[in-house]
Structure 1
Amino acid sequence: VISWAFQSDLLQHLRACYSGTMILCGGFDRARAQAALRNDNGDLIAFGKHFIANPDLVQRLRIGAPLAHWNSTTIYKGGAKGYIDYPALDEAAIAAA
C-alpha cells in the first residue's frame, strides 16, 4: 500500500523494481484515481474515508456523482453515528449525474 503523496516518478521506479500488485491510497477522488490507473502508477485504488461516507461509493464513482465528505468529529468514535448514517444518492441525483 503506497500513499498517493508519493510522486509519479517514484511510483514508476517502484513499478520497475516490483512486479506485485500496487495499491495506492490517500487523497483520491474519481479523477485522480482514473489518472493514476491510466498512468500505470498502481493497480488498485483504496478509498478509506470516502468509502465510509458514501454507502454507494461504487455507483457514485461509476456515474461521476460527487462524493460526500466524511464527518471527522464522529469518525473513529465508535457507535453507528458517523459510520452507517450517511445517505445514499436519491433518484434525482442519480438521474442528474
Structure 2
Amino acid sequence: MRMKDPIPQFTDIITKASKLNLAYLHLLESRVMGAEDCEEGERLDFAYALWNGPLLVAGGYKPANAQRLVDTEYPEKDIVVMFGRHFISNPDLVYRIKEGIELGAYHRETFYTSSAVGYVDYPFSPKYLASEFV
C-alpha cells in the first residue's frame, strides 16, 4: 500500500482477525514496483509473529525462497506459499518444483487481457511431456 509505516495498522487488523476463529490468513509480500517485478519486497515478519494459525503467503516466490521461508525461516509455522503468476506460466508447476526443473517465465504484458494468450498457451516442460503423467 506504500504507507510510510503499515505495521501498526496491520498489527491491529491481524490481532482482531485472530479472535474470529478464521481458517487461515492470506498475506501478500509485494514483489512489484509499478509494472516491474523486483526480487526483494516488503517482508511480513511482523505478521508471521502475530498469527498463530495457517498462513497462505504469496508474492513472487520461487521454489528456493519458498522452501527457505517454510523450512528455515519459519519451520514452526504452518505456511503454504502460493505461486499465482508462475502457476499460470507453468501448467506443470507442481511437477517442476518436485523435479527441480526451472520455472518458465510469465509474460506480464498479457495479464488482465481478454485473450487466451498468456493464460493457456504456456508449454509443459519436455521432462513432464516425456513422463508417465501425460
Same structural fold, with TM-score higher than 0.5 when normalized by the shorter chain: yes
Residue number in structure 1 paired with 2:115: 79
Q: Which whole-Å deviations, capped at 9, do the CAs of 1:22-77 have from their partners, x for residues lacking one? A: 11111210100000001216610011110000000000111111111111221210
Deviation of residue 6 (structure 1)? Answer: 3.7
Deviation of residue 85 (structure 1)? Answer: 0.3
Bigger-Rg structure (1/2) = 2
Contact 1:22 1:44 in 2 (8 A): yes
The DSSP-based 3-state class of the residue aligned with 2:109 is: coil
1: CA distance, partners of 2:101 / 2:82: 18
TM-score (norm 2): 0.59
Spell out the pairing of 1:1-97 with structure 2 (5 A cutoff).
1-4=26-29, 5-7=41-43, 10-11=44-45, 13-38=46-71, 39-40=73-74, 43-91=79-127
Superposition RMSD on alpha carbons, in Å? 2.4
Contact 1:55 1:86 in 2 (8 A): yes
1:45/1:18 CA distance change after superposition, 3 Å: same
Q: Percent identity over the alignment?
A: 32
1: CA distance, partners of 2:104 / 2:112: 17
Count of residue pairs the alignment pairs up:
92
TM-score (norm 1): 0.79
Q: Which consecutive aligned stretches of 4+ in structure 1 deviate over 4 angstroms post-superposition?
A: 92-95
1: CA distance, partners of 2:28 / 2:52: 18
1: CA distance, partners of 2:101 / 2:127: 12
Q: Which has the higher contact order (CA 8 A, sep 6+)?
A: 1
